[in-house]
A and B are shown apart, each in its own frame.
Chain A
Amino acid sequence: MMATTTGTSRLGDTVGRGVRRGWNLTRHVLRIDRAEMGQSPRDLVWSRDKVTLWRYRSQQRSLQPPLLLVHSLVSRSYVFDLQPGNSFVEQLLAEGFDVFLLDWGVPDEAEAHNSLETYVDDYIPAAVSVVDRLGSGHGVTVFGYCFGGLLAVLYAAGHPSDPVRNLLVMATPADFGQMPQAMRGVGSGKVDPEDLIDDTGNLPAATVRSSFQLLRPTADLATYADFWENLHDDGFLTTYQAMTTWSREHIPFPGDAFRQSVALGDSNALARNDVHLGGRHVDLRNITVPFLNVIAERDHIVPPPATEVLTGLVGSADASELRLPAGHVGLIVGGGARRRSIPAMAAWMAEHSVAADGTSTEAHP
């Protein structure tokens, strides 16, 4: 009798699982009820050209200075706010931070002549000024991710009198000699950047994506296998859709900025603190504000040796490293990010913040 009940229950489970797999596959193929990204409510507070600055709504802005997220030039910024319950922004808002996001938009021919100076000396300073004003003049914590970290560092070094209160960079390339070969191929002098730039004058999004695929040639196959194996799980499907959409939605790299980045990688100027922008030396020792270099130990895009040099290059007396057991994206997305990475970064930011009314907090003894 017992055996029959167990057998029936197992059969029921199998059938139930099969039905869920069938339904989820139908949903996925017919694009029904797709995962939606970037859902946290926010307001546009400033824009210039295609660049937009967003402020996330919150009833609990208890910490100052406000936080400005600076994203990479080659991917979509909604990775910061992937899905409800799996969102870097959402978690920081819950901690009491006033969060702003600088979104570069999708470049086309009009951005082909955007150089690194366009970002470092124009867009970022303007955005920092707006954030500082809206945040009641307590300064700004600038937080750069990946290539956005590089831009943030160059900005902070080139504009030492700007109201930057803290600087965090996460998975930021600095020593290009330590970057993976697929990323260095162009800088090695073998691949001519002009052969990669299309007739819009930019590096096409497809080429950007291919360069990431080369780092892990079998990753897409493994992702499909994960999909097939976990198709019965509704939660998995939602996260899968969000992550695969993000990782396939790269954006073109503005041509002039790409050429400069190749030259930067070729000369490895950042690792030698010898970057020149707009005809002047951008000296990283000018960065004297508290600095945190967040390193992902399993990062296959910007491996730890490619980023750890940065901590010693800045002039801050309070410069530290935060090493986390995560991959490049796992720093801000997924269960590990929710439990370990984001709380660790938030703790550092809280230590370097004050209560919004100007009094000190427990987090800032």
Chain B
Amino acid sequence: VRPMWRQAFDKVEGAAAPLLEQATRSDRFVDLMAAGARARKLVAMETEKASRRWLHLWNLPAAGDMAALRRQLAGLEREVRQLRRQVAAVDSSPEGGR
């Protein structure tokens, strides 16, 4: 037999879950989700812009600079991967052993 607190929880959860699931399936919810995602992106961009201005005053790198650096490194990593594939392809070709 389940404890009383659990029976009460199951009753409340059983009643609330379908309502919440229905709410998340509605067009209105998707609209809210879209607006939320846009707002979050905008706030992040504006915050980064403001902090960058301030940090650059002190010659310090901002989050955006680090992100750009990481992207550059990732670009280099992708090029190395591409080169490695080309070398492997040459090695495995019939003329590769020469």
Contact = CB atoms under 8 A, between A and B. Distances in A.
A221 B13 contact: yes
Interface string B21-44: 100111101110110011011000
A216 B37 CA distance: 20
Interface in A182-217: 182, 185, 188, 190-192, 195-196, 199-201, 214-217
A28 interface: no
Chain B interface secondary structure, helix, strand, loop or mixed? helix
B73 interface: yes
Given A110-B77, A113-B78, A218 B20 contact: yes
B49 to A, nearest CB: 13
Interface in A258-296: none
Interface residues of A, number: 28
B74 interface: yes
A109 B24 contact: no
Contacts of A110: 73-74, 77-78, 81
A181 interface: yes
A134 B96 CA distance: 23
Contacts of A221: 13
Given A181-B24, A185-B30, A199-B67, A112 B38 contact: no
B54 interface: no
B24 A214 contact: yes
A192 B34 contact: yes
A192 B3 contact: no
A109 B74 CA distance: 5
Interface of A: 49, 108-110, 112-113, 180-182, 185, 188, 190-192, 195-196, 199-201, 214-218, 221-222, 225, 229
Interface of B: 2-3, 6, 9-10, 13, 16-17, 20-21, 24-27, 29-31, 33-34, 37-38, 40-41, 64, 67, 70-71, 73-74, 77-78, 81
